[in-house]
Amino acid sequence: MGRPTRVALVTGAAQGIGAAVARALADEAVIAAVDTNAEGLSSLVTELHAKGLQAAAFPANVSDVTTVEATVERIEQELGPIEVLTNVAGVLRPGPILSYSDEDWAFTFSVNTLGVFQVSRAVARRMVPRRRGAIVTVGSNAAAVPRMQMAAYAASKAASSMFTKCLGLELAPHGIRCNVVSPGSTDTAMQRALWPDEHGAQAVIAGSPEAYRLGIPLQRIASPEDIASAVRFLVSDAARHITLHDLRVDGGATLDA
């Protein structure tokens, strides 16, 4: 197998789904790993290098436009043209709406929505003249179904999902595809932080009628690799005629709502 030549920028790459996406794409692309967690990025890059794969760490905050522009330009100069972008960086600060703070609301949107906009815009501006590229935003099934004490997260993910579809509509004439992958409950640090005890996974699978939340028909929590596989498909040539699509990867939890 020859060495990959295309570059894939992965945000949120230091942990969870982002790290799984980076690993999934690393055998076919040079990975530009972006995250605020420099230590986590270093660990990921070291792991990939040990496997003979190509990757480089670019610590950056996706909510800071100056940093985003500089980072994207640096990636293109050091690694080459970005052909794949996966927006995975995300935060979750749960809480009831009536006592939810302005700071938590603004922070959630700054990463989950503004970050997706700023990184996508910077990368797409460079993709358009080359007339090739694929963008995938990792959203959430909460973008389609109301969740108690998750208003900021759900609203920010809904906004970034619709933004990605609108972007795909505008970029389609340039041969650039934009899609969304919407996970349900996935075994990550973010998910585990919501569990009150060691039985958290079983409770999520069973559902919670008092919170108006269905369980998971497939009777399992997703792994980060389940989500990464969906991303890998959508950025591949096997999905060359798929754009503006939202692929739900939640074990049937939202009944395709």
> Is position 153 annotated as part of the catalytic site?
yes
For 152-167, letters b (16+ CB in 10 Å) and e give bbbbbbbbbbebbbeb
If you search the block for the tokens 């302005």, which residue do you land on? 102
Question: What tokens does 245 get?
Answer: 């699509």
Phi, psi angle pair for 145, to nearest 5°: -130, 125
Task: Give the active site residue among 58, 109, 117, 153.
Answer: 153
Which residue numbers are catalytic? 153
